[in-house]
Structure 1
Amino acid sequence: MKLTADHTDLAAAVSYAARSLPARPPVPILAGLLLDAADGRLRVSAYDYEVSADTTAPAAVTEPGRVLVSGRLLSDIVSTVRGTVHLELRSPRLVLKAGSARFILPTLPLEEYPARPEPAATAGTLPGPDLAEAVAQVASAVSKDDSVPILTGIGLHHDRQAATLTLYATDRYRFAVRTLPWKTAGLADTSAVIPGRALADAAKATADDTTVGLTLPTSGSGLFTLRSEHATTTIRALDGELPKYGALFPTEFAHTATVEIAALKAAAQRVALVATKNAPIKLTFTAESTLVLEGGSDDDAQAVDNVHTSLTGGELTIAFNPAFLLDGLNALTTPSVQFDLTSPTTPAVLRGHGSDDQALRYLLMPIRLS
């Protein structure tokens, strides 16, 4: 193998594929990136049996060939070099030259590398920015506890009649739901749970693409596929189902309050400074158009702050985990948040003020105050 490529193109391709490399590969061979040079393109791939990433970069190929090298090391190198990059396989080493820099990399045995899965045909397309935003929003509720694997995933549900794709996630303390319009090529109603971290990385990597193609898992393949113009990612779906969210979201509320998000976030961050781990901050919506935030305890530091609010339904005091509250506020994209409240002990629903039913809805469990 022998080729030259611009460092910008090469770095973008290597970075895309390296996102899928496992942090702790079960076998060393899965820490490698597969480079395949032919027909004026360099194909860069990664695969660990759960996630595969495949992309290409333009290259002047003088000798076609394939090589497997350490992905993290190659990613670190190409992110620092500039100008034209020269790659040449001199078995069993790969020589990389750029400007005055020269690197000699050991190669990994190609015959031990597993064959990547073949993705199914695209079922439908979405704007890349819309998908990336929706995934990032619901990812705010994904569990970080690997002891319950299904809660580390993001659910996808296609409703053929409504022509929508709904994304949802929960860690049992909050539930995030976002719906996108999605017309597909005859795809039946389908649901699947995709590993949240892998899906978030893949969607973020294609956020600048005008359109991306999606394939939802089937009983046969179990693979979710995300395609852009020059890149493809497949992710194996998780076994199981997330809790049904339809019945969890209240439809009638006794109190509704609107608060500017920037002001509320700043006040919540200040008050949370005195809250011990997992301790709540108390929110009191008053009749005087003021939201009072309180944190701390009588035996420790205490803090009080307030922001303006527009309230209907009478005064109410409710408490939340401050980190969960801030996650929900950060996920919203509107200037103001609308709190839909029933009582101090029932879940609250946060949504962007003035948004429709397809926008993010963030269900947050309150903490009982003693």
Structure 2
Amino acid sequence: MHATIPQQELAAAVTWAARQLPSKPTNPVLTGMRLAADDGQLRLSVWDGTTAAHATLDVDVTESGTVIAPGQMLQQIVAALRKSDVTLSDRAGDLEITTLGAHFALNVLDGRDFPTLPSMPEPLGWVEGSDFAAAFKRVKASIDAKADGSFAGMSGVRIRIDGDMLTLTSTDRYRIATATMPWHSDQPVTAMGVMPGKAIADNATAFQGRLHLSLPADGSGTAALSGDGRQVSTMLLEPGLFPHRLDEIVINVSGRIVTDAESLTEGVRAAMAVSEPGKPVWLHAGEDGVSLRAGSSSRSIVEVDAAYEGDMPAFETAINSVYLLDGLTPLSGVTHIDVTTPKTPAVIHSPDDATYRYVVTPLRDPDRAA
């Protein structure tokens, strides 16, 4: 192998690919990154046992070849190099990295032990990469990264394609975040899958322009993301482990707080000055306005610029303060909090933005939680 490429292009691709490397590999070779140079291109590939990632770069290739380099060490070296052309070559069992004023030699891994990576499924259509990144940012707080066993589906994000809409949904049993975006396809598509949280977190912002997506119809098998010279395929979580009944939740609105997202966020943070993150914050709404309180003292009250409208003359509900802030963070401007009763789920949304919905369950025994 003998290939030359600008440092900035190589560093971006290697850093992205190294993100997919397993933290606890079942086989030492899985810590490796395969570099294959041929026909004017350099292809970087990694595999952690469930997720495969590839990055393809245009390079000056004078000699074709393939090596398996220690992935994390390669990333650290390339990131530290000067912004000049980098030459990669294999010689006598080493990957040699040469650039202006620097030369490194890395012991390569045995290529015979590197697994055959799964093929990429054909894409069904595409979304804008920026829309996908923004949607994931809205739902990521509701992922339960530690969920396992019969709740393992909550450690991922459900992706659903239906007609001209793609929807991301996450839940940790206490809240449900949903974000939608336009879907583009040459043919009608209905598909879904629960993508592992790490796989989507590592790649949600990795694609510029069009992001092509592949999903199975029944949620079982492999999903793939591709675009901008990068490809990721991952085994999906068992679809039956994601609580699909959450789609059946209906909020019969009997009361509504109308506020400004930024103002309410400031009010919650002010009220929590006498408590700790994750402790309850009480929302009191009635004809006299909306106020917040937290901690064990009912004398610490923060009034917010909000109005209440609804059938109930007044109500008070208590919500985990972190969950409430997570639901408000993606919003700006006019925001509604719709409630049925003080103890049943509430919906946080914007009347001017139909692409985001956040359902949060109030605390049943807030005094004990405080």
Identify unmatched segments of 5+ residues in structure 2.
Answer: none
Question: Tell me, what secondary structure is at the counterpart of 1:73?
Answer: helix
CA contact (8 A) 2:30 2:48 kept: yes
Contact 1:32 1:46 in 2 (8 A): yes
Please give the alpha-carbon distance, in whole angstroms, between the structure 2 residues aligned to 1:117 and 1:236. 10
Q: What whole-Å deviation, never above 9, does each CA across 1:121-157 have from its counterpart, x for those lacking one?
A: 1111111111111222222211122333211011122
Correspondence for 1:158:
161
Partner of 2:362: 366
Deviation at 1:218, TM superposition (A): 5.2
Equivalent residue, structure 1, for 2:31: 31
AA aligned to 1:323 is V
The residue number in structure 1 matching 2:353 is: 355
Q: Where does 1:33-182 land on structure 2 (aligned, <5 Å)?
A: 33-82=33-82, 83-147=84-148, 148-159=151-162, 162-182=163-183
Which amino acid in structure 2 is aligned with residue 354 of structure 1? D
1:30-57 per-position Cα deviation (integer Å, ceiling 9, x unaligned): 1111111111211111111211111112
* One-letter amino acid matched to 2:15: S
Q: Distance in 2 between matches of 1:249 and 1:86?
A: 60
The verdict on how the C-alpha distance between 1:302 and 1:145 changes in structure 2, with shifts beyond 3 A counting, is farther
Deviation at 1:277, TM superposition (A): 6.1
Find the aligned partners of 1:272 and 1:249 in 2 and give their Cα distance. 30
Residue in structure 2 matched with residue 249 of structure 1 by the alignment: 250
1:178 is displaced (CA, Å) by 2.2
The answer to whether the Cα contact below 8 Å between 1:140 and 1:331 also exists between their aligned partners in 2 is: no
How far did residue 272 of structure 1 move?
Answer: 2.7
Whole-Å separation in 1 of the counterparts to 2:115 and 2:219: 20
The 10-residue stretch of structure 1 (234-243 or 211-220) with the greater mean CA deviation from structure 2 = 211-220
Q: Is the 8 A contact 1:295 1:302 kept in 2?
A: no
Counterparts of 1:234-313 in structure 2, within 5 Å, are 234-241=233-240, 242-243=242-243, 244-250=245-251, 252-276=252-276, 278-289=278-289, 291-298=290-297, 303-313=300-310
Tell me, in whole angstroms, the C-alpha distance in 2 between the residues paired with 1:135 and 1:178.
8
Q: How far has the Cα of 1:321 moved from its partner?
A: 0.8
2:334 maps to which residue?
336
3-state SS, counterpart of residue 245 of structure 1: helix
* Residues 170/221 of structure 1: CA separation in 2 closer, same or farther (3 Å cut): closer
Q: Is the 8 A contact 2:193 2:219 kept in 1?
A: no
Partner of 1:196: 197
Question: In the TM superposition, what is the alpha-carbon distance from 1:187 to its structure 2 partner?
Answer: 5.4
Equivalent position SS for 2:140: helix
**TM-score, scaled relative to structure 2:** 0.91
176-185 or 81-90: which moved more? 176-185
Tell me if structure 2 keeps the 8 A contact 1:11–1:79. Answer: yes
Pick closer, same or farther for the CA change 1:218–1:29 going to 2, 3 Å: farther
Q: Structure 1 length as normaliser, TM-score?
A: 0.91
> Is 1:260–1:335's contact at 8 Å kept on the other side of the alignment?
yes
Q: How many residues get paired?
A: 359
1:331 is paired with a residue whose SS is coil
Q: Which runs of 5+ in 1 are unaligned?
A: none
CA gap of 1:219–1:260, structure 2 versus 1, over 3 A, is closer
CA 1:106 to 1:146, structure 2 compared with 1: closer, same or farther past 3 Å? farther
Q: Structure 1 residue 221: deviation in Å? A: 7.5
CA distance in 2, matches of 1:116, 1:218: 23
Deviations 1:169-216 (A, max 9, x none): 11100011223332434455322211122113212111xx22111110
SS at match of 1:246: helix
Contact persistence 1:339–1:348 (CA under 8 A): yes
Percentage of matched positions with identical amino acids: 31
Give, as a single letter, the amino acid of the residue that structure 2 aligns with 1:125. W
Q: Distance in 1 between matches of 2:282 and 2:33?
A: 50
